[in-house]
């Protein structure tokens, strides 16, 4: 479904991504782990088009999307749930979800998607008329994920969904992601610093350091790797 080939992205004189190649098959759950500043968020922004690449290709369902304007990429079926949630604080929960449903598919599926989002996150139903800025951090993350689902995506990209959350709340977010993948059969691409949780749930994983892919493999292969165990799993 998604194939990234020899991608280079530069911030000023700094190479944020350096010859990055990876793939995500339809229906797969792929996790990307790595330290702060490794280029994980830059990779997502390059796929979404909010950061311009220097060279390389990003192919989605057979099309190189780097030539497609950023505002058109969600209509292809790509939903990017950004780092830091970035909900609209002065809009209600339901208004935030409506903004996620701006794609043709999202408008078509609005009622069924809304029902599913409220089933997945019942607290959002309880607070559907509440301003998003008054929600807790965990509830805002639920809302951000819901907003992504409201577009009826084929590929759901989640950037650090556990950031700033208490461990029990982060656990519930991971459980919801696994449930989304299982019930909706969505393709999921996850960037996450909590490497153990990210690798426990995925089909395959990549490790990025200083803008490069340094390891890839199945969860079993990566969690058995001594470098991963020491650097990311604390073992």
Say if residue 142's pLDDT is above 70: yes
Say if residue 233's pLDDT is above 90: no
Asked if residue 15 belongs to a domain, the reply is: no
Between 36 and 156, where is the model more confident?
156
Asked if residue 173 belongs to a domain, the reply is: yes
Asked if residue 49 belongs to a domain, the reply is: no
Asked if residue 13 belongs to a domain, the reply is: no
Burial pattern 181-206, b for ≥16 Cβ within 10 A else e, equals beebebbbbbbbbbbbbbbebbebbb
Residue-wise pLDDT tens digits, 193-221: 888 889 988 999 999 999 999 999 999 99
Our count of domains for the chain comes to 1
The average confidence (pLDDT) of the chain is 94
Q: Kindly write down the DSSP assignment for every residue of 85-121, as one continuous string.
A: ----TTSBHHHHHHHHTTSHHHHHTHHHHHHHHHHH-
Structural domain harbouring 202: 27-43+69-231
| CATH code assigned at 91 | 3.40.50.300
pTM: 0.94
Asked if residue 59 belongs to a domain, the reply is: no
Asked if residue 64 belongs to a domain, the reply is: no
Asked if residue 62 belongs to a domain, the reply is: no
Asked if residue 1 belongs to a domain, the reply is: no
């Amino acid at each position: 479904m998604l194939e990234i080939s020899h991608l280079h992205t530069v911030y000023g004189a700094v190479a944020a991504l350096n010859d990055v190649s990876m793939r995500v098959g339809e229906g797969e759950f792929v996790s990307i782990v790595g330290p702060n500043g490794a280029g994980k968020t830059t990779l997502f922004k390059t796929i979404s088009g909010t950061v311009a690449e220097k060279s390389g290709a990003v192919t989605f369902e057979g099309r190189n999307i780097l030539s497609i304007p950023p505002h058109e990429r969600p209509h292809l079926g790509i939903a990017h749930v950004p780092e830091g949630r970035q909900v609209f604080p002065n809009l209600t929960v339901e208004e935030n979800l409506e903004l996620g449903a701006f794609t043709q598919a999202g408008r078509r599926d609005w009622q069924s998607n809304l029902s599913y989002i409220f089933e997945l996150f019942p607290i959002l139903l309880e607070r559907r008329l509440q301003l998003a800025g008054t929600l807790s951090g965990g509830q805002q993350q639920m809302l951000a994920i819901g907003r992504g689902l409201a577009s009826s995506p084929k590929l759901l990209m989640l950037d650090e969904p556990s950031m700033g959350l208490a461990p029990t709340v982060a656990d519930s977010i991971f459980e919801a992601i696994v449930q989304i993948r299982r019930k909706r059969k969505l393709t999921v691409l996850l960037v996450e610093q909590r490497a153990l949780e990210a690798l426990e749930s995925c089909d395959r994983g990549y490790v990025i350091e200083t803008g490069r892919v340094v390891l890839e493999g199945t969860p079993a292969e990566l969690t058995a790797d001594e470098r991963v165990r020491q650097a990311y799993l604390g073992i």
